[in-house]
Amino acid sequence: MTNTHARELDDFAAAARWCTSLVATIGDEQWDEPGLGAWDLRGLVGHTGRAFLTLETALDQPADEVTLPSPEDYFAAILSQQGVDDLVLERGIASGRDLGDDPASAFAAKCESALSRLSRLEEVSSSASVADAAIMTVGGGMRAGDYVRTRTFELVVHGSDIAAALGTDPQIPDSPLRDSLEIAVELAVRGGTGSRVLAALTGRGGLAGDFSVLG
């Protein structure tokens, strides 16, 4: 097992545990409060939990070839799909509703299911082959480890959104945070906004409130 393979899986586990512990702090009276955009906290958490579901679904679908060789290629493919914003919004609302009367516990169960699935895969083969297997995602064929990185990115980004909605410091674990920043920087460079991001990170100019490397 190489360090790269270990990091991909370990980062996901760290982000999943962190995000689940954050969701556990949401009070019963807070679920209807603002979350992100048109989502209330329930919708935001519902969308965030889809990172677990989509990972398990993709792991069940082998691909004949890898057509998306990086996390950045995956996000570019997804964002190019027509009507994706409306679809994401609706799925988040539906997923939040599906969390039921005890949403924090339901979220934790989704987390444990995804981590258990990865653990079972590691038991029957080396972690290297788990990470290198070609799987089919909604964007196309990917190396499993690269798709895991997109799920970590989703947990880190939306976990931060949840923390912001709660008014708390996100305290993201260092390794998944670092990997998510690497993906975000690459997306900025590809999108032609890398120099603006560099300027902001070095105190040489701010970014607009609605700026996003995701388009």
Q: What is the mean pLDDT of residues 29-39?
A: 97
Determine the Cα angle at 206 with ends 204 and 211, to 5°.
Answer: 140
Predicted local distance difference test score (pLDDT) of residue 123: 62
Residues 92, 97: Cα–Cα separation, whole Å = 9
| 133 pLDDT above the threshold of 70 | yes
| 161 pLDDT above the threshold of 80 | yes
**The pairing of beta strand 39-40 with beta strand 34-36:** antiparallel
pTM: 0.93
- Mean pLDDT value across the chain: 93
Say what the alpha-carbon torsion angle 19, 126, 53, 99 is, to the nearest 10 degrees: -50
Handedness of CA 131, 136, 139, 142 (dihedral sign): positive
Predicted local distance difference test score (pLDDT) of residue 2: 45
Percent of the chain with pLDDT over 70: 94
| 28 pLDDT above the threshold of 80 | yes
Predicted local distance difference test score (pLDDT) of residue 126: 52
Predicted local distance difference test score (pLDDT) of residue 3: 53
List Cβ neighbours of 157 (8 Å cut-off, separation of 6 or more). 180
Q: What is the mean pLDDT of residues 151-171?
A: 97
Residues 55, 118: Cα–Cα separation, whole Å = 9
Of 158, 49, 63, 145, the C-alpha closest to 105 is 49
Burial letters 26-43, b for 16+ CB under 10 A, else e: beeeebeeebbeebbbbb
Q: What is the pLDDT of residues 77-92, one digit of tens each?
A: 999 988 999 999 999 9
Q: What is the mean pLDDT of residues 201-210?
A: 88
| 125 pLDDT above the threshold of 80 | no
The pLDDT-based confidence of 210 (bands split at 50, 70, 90) is confident
| 13 pLDDT above the threshold of 90 | yes
